Structure 1
Amino acid sequence: MTDGEERQTAAGASDSAGSAATSPDEVAAERRSQAELDRRNKLARLRAAGIDPFPHSYPTPTPAAEIAQRHTDLAPGGEDESVRYRVAGRLAARRGHGGAAFLDIVDRSGKIQVLARRDRLGEGSFETLVGLDLGDLVGVEGHVVRTRRGELSIAAHDWRLLAKSLRPPPEKYHGLEDVELRYRHRELDLIANAETRELFITRSRIVRAVRRWLDERGFIEVETPVLQPIYGGAHARPFVTHYNALDRDFYLRIATELYLKRLIVGGLERVYELGKDFRNEGLSHKHNPEFTMLEWYEAYADYRDIAAELEELVRYVAAEIGYAGPLRFDRPWRRVTLREAIAERTGLDVLALRDRDALLAAARARGIELEPAATWAQLVDDLLSKHVEPHLEQPTFIFDYPKELSPFAKDHRSQPGLVERFECFAGGIEFANAFTELNDPDEQRRRFEAQARERAAGDDEAQPWDEDFLRALEHGMPPTGGIGVGIDRLVMLLTGRRAIREVVLFPAMRPRG
């Protein structure tokens, strides 16, 4: 009986019995799709035949890609019985009839074909194997053959069911195209789309390359608290939770900056952390409230040293993964000041328009509408993010920000009113933010006071007061350069994706309906 015939028969039985369903189990069964009922019926038959549909292990399978690499010289029609392999993966396709069948098994590394023959496996084993459902997980042991058409295959000597799939695979492995379903149920996306599997393998390689580059340069990887009594290190609203044992609110961190700089005070000199940050903000193509951030801090460096290192790091990572896209990571990247960048796109000289109302009026005269209730600093940030950032395709550093935008950056050594800060952009998004770090505790205290005034005026993203951080600075922090690099956005750039949800395995999603 074919799968289609089995579904048709089971459907007729279900329809005829539907009106008699009375128990909760029967009602639940009627609500399942017919395909799921077929699979559960097959599960029962497998168990009745003494086959364990969920065994405990299947030791030492060899990745499909590794087998293919080992046997590139095997000619069509040839076979190699000198070694047996075990392969394990999901059943993706089935072809053939009579005494032989071809099965496609997919694992993380790719696909390999299995040749099943009735005369080798025996009647019962062969029929059970070819009767499995697409999506079932199966292990096969056998030797390598290459078909006359040139397809490398495993000639099955033995096999084992590793997990019975009780739901049909998406789109019969022809690709899962429902974007929302892909994001909500990433497991289905990974099953159906080889490109998605490769994307997240590439993401893992990017993270490994970043760590390797830092480790080889003497940086120490550390871990700092995710739950914090005071959040800080960025302009953002936090997620709030309640610590029952202490009976007080704590916050999911919005950045690792302040703790890492305390380690610089402690003498570690070169530290980095690669982990999750959380910001209670909206969703967009470049924002996910939970995201992966790399921050590193280096004693005796400044923001120009950090810029050179960022160029080197990204170029290294791009080479490690074989990047061949349109972005040019060869050094040097373009460098421009914030003042110049905004003037190029809008004609506005923001440093000559230091008064909020004057900047609003000048923008309006050029047809640029800004939020009338925003502070001067917020207006400048809006001009940068909405009128400059989307046009920065090739890697570009924007240097030298107003002090009002940067409460942790050191005053510019030659430009009053500015700080030594850069952001780095590519592909129309910002992916890195760096400072020559402020290490004067009295100036930092004054910056906190200014932030407190901003909070009192209604800016709920302003930096809260952190006395412990001030106490640490008072012990003396050496001149330091520091940077935050958005790993999700870096992955977007190096894989050619335009939405952050594509590169996060389980992105935040709005509720259904």
Structure 2
Amino acid sequence: MTEGASKLEQVRIDKLEKIRALGLDPWGGRFDDRQTIADVASQAPEEPGTTTETVVRVAGRILGLRDKGRVVFIDLQDKTGRIQLFIGKKQVGEENWNIVGLLDLWDLVGAEGKLGRTKTGEASVFVESLTLLTKTIAHPPEKYHGAQDIEIRLRRRYLDMIQNPEVLARFESRAKIVRFIREFLGQREFVEVETPTMHSIAGGAAARPFVTHHNALDIELFMRIALELPLKRCLVGGVDRVYEIGRVWRNEGIDASHNPEFTMLELYEAYGDYETMMELTESLIVGAAEALGNGLKLPYGEREIDMTRPWRRATYDELLREKYGFGLDDTEQARAEAIKREIEVDGKHPDVIMDALFEEGVSDELVAPTFVIDYPASICPLTKRKAGNERVAERFELFINGMEVANAYTELNDPLLQEQLFSTQLEGQEEEDSMAKMDHDFIAALKHGMPPAGGLGIGIDRLVMLLTNSQTIRDVIIFPLLRPERGQGGKESSEEHAGDGEVLDDESD
């Protein structure tokens, strides 16, 4: 018995050796001119018990195998669908029939034959030639259930995609969305760039970074928490419309809408502002929804979200008043309300308390797409102040189904004010906080003149969640972060929860 192999695997390994004895490569090779199964199935005749003269070539994975003696039926699947292979000993000949006897579930095969329909009405390829493309050794898992469902789906996503075609379709939808975004921005003459993923100073957001070490330079570096500051340097350099779609990392909690590693779109447009960004955001997201071909009234859980334009615009102050009866300047009422809701207030700036109330009672209720505009300036250190009202910053956040999907500013390009705001924000912050060190090079860049601009950030994972009716971010990240498997370097622990309450491992959903 092969070392490390289970009994079921050993049976397959024995078959693999028999395949070699036939002079065949059990790992297959090139198989040209194959057609998608969906395309082939669509051409099948309508009348049961008929065969056409059309010869087709298909390839895929065996998901069903029924041996009827001198006839074998195989259910073959590729990413587009399934079709039945009808394999008769007389029709395929001795050499091909020897291969058939060595096949197992989940093997990969190619087949050529005439297209028809069986007497029972099943669209089928009546095989004349069979090619083994890959012999699988691992025995396929049973159709999973209960807690094991999460184990297999997240740790072995490839099994999830094989057994649940809708999962593969979801990741293909993600690819369509990203492709559309690139096409959309290209048509608007944005230039795509790639900026460093390791920074000597973690800037552009208030978040805790992952820390790494560069051995050759003997310096501490941070995995980037935002794309913002390098892209703004591009504006200074004359790239008037610039964007990046890239991975960012934040060493923080995990829940249904947060993963430590995620994908962001950030873009900047010289001579624009946050109004420019609102128009762009609305056009981009509606276009992405239309690219999937599902219309603009989208199901999300038990709700329907109407993405039809125009989207609502409401000020931060207006929404606070709708919910609580007081606005931005009513700091004492906000403090009292926060205490009543058991929100920490000691040592907190009044606007921080106000923002906690906004997150607690307002944002979750914004189901239809809503641009929340004009935030408190004190919590927006990279944003231009509103003309005639220094209390307010020209910033918006887009909420859909209670989830923040986009964040945008009229960018602050005054280097003296930017330096002052950085210094004010840094006071009293913990040393490990991402904003606890000032990016002096960014200030130097601003001093060389950054044009007035609008800037936008969109969480790609959250956007995909909304457009594909996915209830958790783990469903749209192909390999989400998990604790190591027990016995594979993971430690036994009674602690099941991480971050904001979402399980990090796979014991429940």
Would you call these one fold, judging by a TM-score over 0.5?
Answer: yes
- The answer as to whether partners of 2:44 and 2:115 remain within 8 angstroms in 1 is no
Provide the residue aligned with 2:392 in structure 1.
418
Deviations 1:273-302 (A, max 9, x none): 111111111111110011011111111111
Aligned partner of residue 431 in structure 1, secondary structure: strand
- The answer as to whether partners of 1:176 and 1:193 remain within 8 angstroms in 2 is no
Q: How far 1:332 moved relative to its partner?
A: 1.4
Q: How far 1:167 moved relative to its partner?
A: 1.2
Provide the residue aligned with 1:88 in structure 2.
59
Alignment of 1:289 with 2:260, yes or no, is yes
Aligned partner of residue 111 in structure 1, secondary structure: strand
Matches within 5 A, 1:266-305: 266-305=237-276
Deviations 1:467-486 (A, max 9, x none): 11111111111110010000
- The answer as to whether partners of 1:240 and 1:249 remain within 8 angstroms in 2 is yes
Alignment of 1:61 with 2:34, yes or no, is yes
Aligned partner of residue 390 in structure 2, secondary structure: coil
Matches within 5 A, 1:152-301: 152-171=123-142, 178-301=149-272
More divergent stretch after superposition (372-381 vs 405-414): 372-381
Q: Matched residues in 1 for 2:58 and 2:10: separation?
A: 29
Q: Please tell me the residue identity of whatever aligns with 2:409.
A: F
Q: How far 1:423 moved relative to its partner?
A: 0.4
Q: How far 1:257 moved relative to its partner?
A: 0.8
Q: 1:369 to 1:470 in 2, by over 3 A?
A: closer
Q: 1:463 to 1:256 in 2, by over 3 A?
A: farther
Provide the residue aligned with 1:7 in structure 2.
none
RMSD value over aligned CA atoms? Answer: 2.4
Aligned residue-pair number: 479
More divergent stretch after superposition (224-233 vs 288-297): 224-233
Q: Matched residues in 2 for 1:140 and 1:464: separation?
A: 62
Deviations 1:318-358 (A, max 9, x none): 111023432111111111112222333344534321x7xx7
Q: Matched residues in 2 for 1:169 and 1:176: separation?
A: 18
Provide the residue aligned with 2:505 in structure 1.
none
- The answer as to whether partners of 1:229 and 1:250 remain within 8 angstroms in 2 is yes
Q: How far 1:231 moved relative to its partner?
A: 1.9
Identity %: 43
More divergent stretch after superposition (57-66 vs 259-268): 57-66
Provide the residue aligned with 2:489 in structure 1.
none
Provide the residue aligned with 2:463 in structure 1.
490
Q: Matched residues in 1 for 2:481 and 2:356: separation?
A: 25
Q: Matched residues in 2 for 1:135 and 1:407: separation?
A: 55
Q: Matched residues in 2 for 1:133 and 1:173: separation?
A: 19
- The answer as to whether partners of 1:394 and 1:426 remain within 8 angstroms in 2 is yes
- The answer as to whether partners of 2:235 and 2:241 remain within 8 angstroms in 1 is yes
Q: How far 1:381 moved relative to its partner?
A: 3.1
More divergent stretch after superposition (102-111 vs 493-502): 102-111
Q: How far 1:179 moved relative to its partner?
A: 1.8
Aligned partner of residue 275 in structure 1, secondary structure: strand
| TM-score normalised according to structure 1 size | 0.87
Q: 1:55 to 1:371 in 2, by over 3 A?
A: farther
- The answer as to whether partners of 1:448 and 1:463 remain within 8 angstroms in 2 is no
Q: How far 1:182 moved relative to its partner?
A: 0.5
Q: Please tell me the residue identity of whatever aligns with 2:51.
A: E
Residue among 315, 318, 322 paired with 2:289: 318
Q: How far 1:77 moved relative to its partner?
A: 3.4
Q: Matched residues in 1 for 2:81 and 2:403: separation?
A: 33
Residue among 432, 439, 457 paired with 2:413: 439
Q: Matched residues in 2 for 1:102 and 1:189: separation?
A: 24
Provide the residue aligned with 1:379 in structure 2.
353
Structure 2 unaligned residues grouped into runs of 5+:
486-491, 493-509
- The answer as to whether partners of 2:87 and 2:126 remain within 8 angstroms in 1 is yes
Provide the residue aligned with 2:497 in structure 1.
none
Q: Please tell me the residue identity of whatever aligns with 1:235.
A: A
Structure 1 unaligned residues grouped into runs of 5+:
1-13, 15-24
Name the structure where helix makes up a greater proportion of residues.
1
Q: Matched residues in 2 for 1:64 and 1:128: separation?
A: 22
Q: How far 1:178 moved relative to its partner?
A: 0.7
Aligned partner of residue 394 in structure 1, secondary structure: coil
Deviations 1:338-392 (A, max 9, x none): 2222333344534321x7xx7433422x444335454444433322223222222
Q: 1:43 to 1:302 in 2, by over 3 A?
A: same
- The answer as to whether partners of 2:65 and 2:104 remain within 8 angstroms in 1 is no
Q: Please tell me the residue identity of whatever aligns with 1:81.
A: E
More divergent stretch after superposition (259-268 vs 446-455): 446-455
Residue among 57, 79, 84 paired with 2:51: 79
